[in-house]
Amino acid sequence: MRAAPKHERRWASDSVPGNAKIMSSGLSSPGTESSAAEEFVEVTLDLQDDDRIILRSVEPATVINVDNAVSVGSETPKSASISRSPTFKRSSSSLLRQFSQELKAEAVAKARQFSQELKAELKRFSWSHGHSSGGGNGFDSALAARALRKRQAQLDRTRSGAHKALRGLRFISSKSNGVDAWNEIQSNFDKLAKDGFLYRSDFAQCIGMKDSKEFALELFDALSRRRRLKVEKISKEELFEFWSQITDQSFDSRLQIFFDMVDKNEDGRITEEEVKEIIMLSASANKLSRLKEQAEEYAALIMEELDPERLGYIELWQLETLLLQKDTYLNYSQALSYTSQALSQNIQGLRNKSPITRIRTKLLYYLQENWRRIWVLTLWIMILVGLFTWKFFQYKHKQAYNVMGYCLLTAKGAAETLKFNMAIILLPVCRNTITWIRSTRLGFFVPFDDNINFHKTIAAAIVVGVILHVGNHLACDFPRLVQSTDENYNYVKGYFGPDKPTYLDLVKGWEGVTGILMVILMAVAFTLATRWFRRSLIKLPKPFDRLTGFNAFWYSHHLFFIVYVLLVIHGIFLYLEHRWYRKTTWMYLAVPVLLYAGERTLRFFRSGFYSVRLLKVAIYPGNVLALQMSKPPQFRYKSGQYMFVQCPAVSPFEWHPFSITSAPGDDYLSVHIRQLGDWTQELKRVFAEACEPPVAGKSGLLRADETTKKCLPKLLIDGPYGAPAQDYRNYDVLLLVGLGIGATPFISILKDLLNNIVKMEEQADSIADGGKESDLSFGSTDSSSSARVSPKRKKILKTTNAYFYWVTREQGSFDWFKGVMNEVAEMDQRGVIEMHNYLTSVYEEGDARSALITMVQALNHAKNGMDIVSGTRVRTHFARPNWKKVFSRICSKHCSAKIGVFYCGAPILAKELSNLCYEFNQKGPTKFDFHKEHF
């Protein structure tokens, strides 16, 4: 029976390599005195990982007293009596069996003490002890201690199942198989090669690492050194040799390549300076500029961990040891611990369903998720159809129908829908009214979160109505009226006068002029409000580039004030209706216009009433401006809501919405504004001029506060206004997903949850104290005591857990909310809030370009509790989250819970999260409700 790899030890002398050869008498146990007349045998044993002893051979040998054998850390050995037996005599089987049992018992005892002896030797032969004497003994002791650690590392690798723990360290991440990948490399070689050779400068692009050119060049040099060459170009055959080594599936091979990249002088040792170089190289490949600045500190950390003897270098096996320990460090600093996945969650999803069942399930889910939208849209469409039909048949009985035909009926039916839509399109933007109504029971029946989408839907219906109304007038019934015979004209003579009008007469009248002006203004406003113009996706030459961007959308949208005035005039001067009570345009518009005008008036006076004083200003990396201001006494809001901000120094008319990042319990207001448009860029410039250089120890590139010598710009606010995230209290568990600056609405929620946790703990303590007193007066009917207890019960928070996932591509983004993340990590002792940062600019775990960063990150977090990427206590993950695993783990941990999924960010991720909510809602009793905000 043979175990691989074997670890053969010398008896009682672990510092000496080789086979374990033990000389003992066949008649006596080890360690006993033996006479020269006795014959001895030399026994070779294997000590296995599970403490088993395997007998390899028995030979005539020289006698060595076991008790006096030399070992590291043992006392000075006594003189050993030695004699050699000239011949080998076989002992009886019973004596040999007794000898083997005794030998095995003592060997097992020695093996169990090995790890303890190893630790003692490492402490004894530390660097300080070895060099304090100033002699060679200290250096030799350090080498002996490192040899012991190497022996233990080899054992640990076998015992830990290294083939599982050491997966990864890829140099190339490719989804294609080896043959297809090499074909692609050959194609790149043919494009880049010059005279049949690939030059060193093109190596990165050829193998698909053009984003990590410096790393690829070091890889090229390391592979060249293996061939004892320093070349600037290689042939296709040599490229294939390089490619074979890079894509080798063996971890040991990849580890050796990685080691060779660092070990440039090929002496088999890595110094601290070389570790610093590879850290800087990895930081550059992953766009971690701050990590490069601290490379020296983290290189010292690695050397402290891997070189406790202070020899000044590390070897290949020590780098391998760090990889082994990395998983231990990651588990130690893991933020989220999950229960095992419940099988019942997936039983329903694993059942085979017929096509009819699947369609029915999808239909029921769609109705369940969208019934609020469906009934509102259905009601709206029914009203439009009813108004169109009513006006259509009303004009069919008029005399003008005999002249203008169905063109007139269609135009008038469309006009009636236009009146209604031009009225209700104002309601979705009456934000104060919506904020108030959504907190009532009506908020359960009406999807107020879709107010802007409904606003856009109505706008689309207005476009259709304008085309039908204007098109039928200008292209159909006006020409028919002009070309009508005198006999037919008699039907409409009472409307247009005794003389038949010309086409120009019809167009230049009040009706025609106001209609055409409205069409022009609405066309401009609708065009500049589209995504292509509003987001500046269309690049126009100067000076037409001013037609794109948020400013163009903002100012053009205010043309609707003129449109509504023209609409009222247009509705008064009608060709075919002269009775005032039949001119219904003003009736449609009266209530919505007054409501909207009241809202704008309220905002005007409230913004002046809400005078705020800027407390702090900071400009962070990633072009984010943080504004902290005083909180007006009457300004009450909920976490997740937003407010409008105006800076007269930038524009006296523009108001822009931003999520409130302070908690309702804070005595200040704060917003974080990222530069995404011309207004925000100008706002940053204005505040940057008033800021001062950063003070040592404080974050932010530029800072300002009340003590700043320069005068800070004036700021006006208006709000608060409702948002989807404010309904987070309705759920048992929260999954908050922020993409970049989309984390802002959730920061307020996290702070509010944290404040509620503290309050609940204080209330629990007070209730516990009150419970002791109530026991003394059991049965009391004092109403005042019950009044004191009931409010506390109402304040119990329904939300039990919150999971916050922040995905960003810039390391500097973590500076925005560094204080909040540290505060949550320190104060949330019960683990209610779990925070996860994801940095997408870093290559995923297992990639050689991020391997050393992952090691340093895990090591520093385990030792110091701080993440080297974010600078907080929250550990940063690399690459993008696996959202399916995130949902699966949360679903397993919170079976049958009502989970609110709130997303804020670019639309690209919203669809994936929505689909996952649908998928997991089909698998079990756990319910996921998806809410989204786009910026």
Q: What domains can be seen in the chain, in order of their start residue? A: 168-248 (1.10.238.10), 367-600 (no CATH), 612-721 (2.40.30.10), 731-761+794-839+879-930 (3.40.50.80)
Amino acid 786: pLDDT:
35
- Edge-to-edge strand ranges of the sheet holding 702-705: 668-674, 624-630, 614-620, 702-705
H/E segment holding residue 719: strand 716-721
Amino acid 764: pLDDT:
64
Paired residues of 733 in beta bridges? 801, 899
Side-chain-facing half-sphere of 877: CA atoms under 13 Å: 16
CA distance 732 to 534: 38
The residue count for the chain: 935
The arithmetic mean of pLDDT across residues 355-379, rounded, is 84
Using DSSP, state whether 661 is helix, strand or coil. coil
342 versus 529: the higher-pLDDT residue is 529
CA distance 13 to 72: 7
Side-chain-facing half-sphere of 233: CA atoms under 13 Å: 10
What tokens were used for 921? Answer: 């809602």
Cβ distance 933 to 723 under 8 Å? yes
State yes or no: pLDDT of 67 exceeds 70.
Answer: no
What tokens were used for 433? Answer: 């009214």
Using DSSP, state whether 472 is helix, strand or coil. helix
How large is the greatest C-alpha to C-alpha distance in the chain, in angstroms? 152
State yes or no: pLDDT of 377 exceeds 90.
Answer: yes
CA distance 166 to 258: 14
Q: Which residue in this structure is represented by tokens 């004497």?
A: 133
Where is average pLDDT lowest: 72-76, 526-530, 709-713?
72-76
The arithmetic mean of pLDDT across residues 146-162, rounded, is 65
**Angular region, 123: left φ>0, alpha ψ -120 to 50, beta rest:** alpha
The arithmetic mean of pLDDT across residues 438-451, rounded, is 85
Cβ distance 880 to 807 under 8 Å? yes
Cβ distance 241 to 279 under 8 Å? no
> Taking CA 738 as the corner, what is the angle to CA 732 and CA 739, rounded to the nearest 5 degrees?
155
Single-letter amino acid, residue 891: C
Amino acid 592: pLDDT:
92
In sequence order, which ranges of 62-177 are alpha helices (DSSP H)? 93-112, 114-124, 127-132, 136-159, 162-165
Amino acid 72: pLDDT:
35
Single-letter amino acid, residue 784: S
Amino acid 425: pLDDT:
93
CA distance 603 to 608: 9
Q: What is the pLDDT of residues 691-727, one digit of tens each?
A: 776 655 454 567 776 666 678 888 889 888 888 888 8
Amino acid 14: pLDDT:
36
Question: Given pLDDT bands bounded at 50, 70 and 90, which one contains residue 585?
Answer: confident
Using DSSP, state whether 140 is helix, strand or coil. helix
Q: What Cα–Cα distance (Å) separates residue 454 from each residue in 150, 382, 863?
A: 69, 15, 53
The arithmetic mean of pLDDT across residues 89-95, rounded, is 47
What tokens were used for 704? Answer: 């300002």
Q: What is the pLDDT of residues 905-925, one digit of tens each?
A: 888 888 899 889 988 888 778
Cβ distance 172 to 204 under 8 Å? no
The arithmetic mean of pLDDT across residues 641-654, rounded, is 87
Q: Which residue in this structure is represented by tokens 């090691």?
A: 855
Side-chain-facing half-sphere of 755: CA atoms under 13 Å: 15
432 versus 46: the higher-pLDDT residue is 432
pTM of the model: 0.71
**Angular region, 99: left φ>0, alpha ψ -120 to 50, beta rest:** alpha
State yes or no: pLDDT of 364 exceeds 60.
Answer: yes
Question: Given pLDDT bands bounded at 50, 70 and 90, which one contains residue 347?
Answer: very low
State yes or no: pLDDT of 791 exceeds 50.
Answer: no
Amino acid 380: pLDDT:
95
pLDDT, the chain, mean: 75
Q: What Cα–Cα distance (Å) separates residue 411 from each residue in 92, 474, 607, 710, 895?
A: 120, 10, 43, 62, 57
759 versus 651: the higher-pLDDT residue is 651
CA distance 512 to 251: 80
Q: What Cα–Cα distance (Å) separates residue 285 from each residue in 216, 563, 599?
A: 10, 55, 52
Own/partner pairs, 374-382, CB within 8 angstroms, 24+ separation: 375/445, 376/446, 376/447, 376/454, 377/457, 380/424
CA distance 413 to 407: 10
**Residue 580: exposure state from Cβ atoms within 10 A (0-12, 13-18, ≥19):** exposed
State yes or no: pLDDT of 728 exceeds 60.
Answer: yes
CA distance 876 to 866: 10
Strands (E), 841-904: 876-878, 898-904
H/E segment holding residue 498: none
What tokens were used for 175? Answer: 């989804």
Q: What is the pLDDT of residues 755-788, one digit of tens each?
A: 877 777 676 666 665 554 444 333 333 333 333 3
DSSP string for 736-790: EEEEGGGGHHHHHHHHHHHHHHHHHHHHHHHHHHHHHHHHHTTT---HHHHHHHH
Cβ distance 239 to 204 under 8 Å? no
Highest mean pLDDT among 55-59, 250-254, 360-364, 470-474: 470-474
- CA 216, 220, 225, 231 torsion: positive or negative? negative
Cis peptide before 925, with omega less than 30 degrees from 0? Answer: no
Amino acid 535: pLDDT:
78
Q: What backbone torsions phi and psi does residue 194 show, to the nearest 5 degrees?
A: -125, 120
Q: Which residue in this structure is represented by tokens 């002249």?
A: 403
CA distance 173 to 169: 10
Q: What is the pLDDT of residues 258-292, one digit of tens each?
A: 888 888 888 888 888 888 888 888 888 888 877 87
Q: How far apart are the first and last CA of the chain?
A: 67
In percent, the amount of the chain with pLDDT more than 70 equals 73
